[in-house]
């Protein structure tokens, strides 16, 4: 579980991947679109997953994901290797999602979690087997609750949650990508999870109430 929080093994894995990514960047500069395809192969579904959960509409997400790779291809000569390819691509994706939200007139949601609500996290019934993520995968309704929760949470919390919990990005990388202090990244991550926790608990309680004779 500590792996999620930027511990050493994850950092080492990240470095190895950075070297592979740099090799791909060099190939792209030399061989063009064909070599760039390797980068697309590696990241297309991950970028799409991020974009889809940021913009909500699937068709818009498909178009924006293409735009991410087109922008990346156009500016690959300027990639200097200071960040990882992954950070670079997700930064492009995040910026495009923000632009999309502005264009569609969607104002960023304010935080819906009050600071006091975080204390309620302590009342979770750990005995409920559906809290087991492996079992939860089989529960499509529960997965839908989680997806809806991500969709409805604050625009400020969502990217932090997705980058950390889906992409296993360490705090430092997220802070650099989003231009936030590390403390802010951690607090937003906690708030995002607390928001989801409330949604999941409400669903489970409702389910339990319905199943009672």
Partner 1 sequence: MSRKNPEPEDRLVESEESRKVAAMVKALPDDELSLAWRSELNAKLKALEKRKRRRAGPHPAALVGGIGASVLAAVLLLFAMMPSRSGPSGLPPSQDLERQLLTAHLASADPSEAAGEGVSSVDEAQQTASDAQDWHSEDLEPL
Radius of gyration of the chain (CA): 19
Kindly tell me the burial class for residue 77, based on how many C-beta atoms sit within 10 Å of its own C-beta (0-12, 13-18, 19 or more).
exposed
Please report, as residue ranges, which positions from 99 to 128 form the binding site for partner 1 (by CB under 8 A): 115-116, 118-119, 121-122, 124, 126
Out of 24, 52, 88, 89, name the contact with partner 1 by CB under 8 A. 52
190 is a site residue for partner 1 (CB under 8 A): yes
Which is closer to partner 1, CB of 25 or CB of 191? 191
1 is a site residue for partner 1 (CB under 8 A): yes
Rounded CA-CA distance 100/148 in Å is 20
Kindly tell me the burial class for residue 72, based on how many C-beta atoms sit within 10 Å of its own C-beta (0-12, 13-18, 19 or more).
buried
Cα angle at 35 between 32 and 39, to 5 degrees?
120
33 is a site residue for partner 1 (CB under 8 A): yes
Residue 46's closest CA among 61, 30, 56?
A: 61
Residues near partner 1 (CB under 8 A):
1, 4-5, 32-33, 36-37, 40, 44-46, 48-49, 52, 62, 65-66, 69-70, 73-74, 115-116, 118-119, 121-122, 124, 126, 131, 133-134, 136-137, 142-143, 146-147, 150, 161-162, 164-166, 183, 186-187, 189-191, 193-194, 196-197, 200
């Amino acid at each position: 579980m500590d792996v999620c929080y930027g511990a050493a093994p994850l950092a080492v894995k990240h470095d190895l991947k950075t070297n592979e990514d740099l090799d791909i960047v060099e190939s792209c500069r030399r061989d063009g679109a064909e070599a760039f395809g390797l980068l697309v192969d590696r990241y297309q579904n991950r970028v799409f997953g991020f974009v889809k959960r940021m913009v909500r509409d699937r068709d818009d997400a498909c178009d924006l994901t293409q735009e991410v790779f087109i922008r990346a291809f156009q500016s690959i000569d300027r990639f200097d290797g200071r960040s990882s390819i992954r950070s670079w691509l997700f930064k492009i994706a995040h910026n495009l999602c923000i632009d999309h939200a502005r264009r569609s007139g969607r104002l960023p949601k304010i935080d819906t979690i009050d600071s006091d609500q975080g204390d309620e996290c302590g009342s979770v019934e750990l005995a409920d087997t559906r809290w087991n993520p492996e079992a939860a995968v089989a529960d499509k309704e529960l997965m839908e609750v989680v997806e809806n929760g991500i969709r409805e949470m604050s625009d400020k919390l969502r990217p932090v949650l997705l980058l950390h919990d889906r992409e296993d990005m360490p705090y430092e990388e997220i802070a650099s990508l989003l231009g936030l202090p590390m403390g802010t990244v951690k607090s937003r991550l906690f708030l995002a999870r607390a928001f989801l926790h409330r949604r999941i608990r409400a669903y489970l309680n409702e389910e339990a109430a319905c199943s009672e004779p």
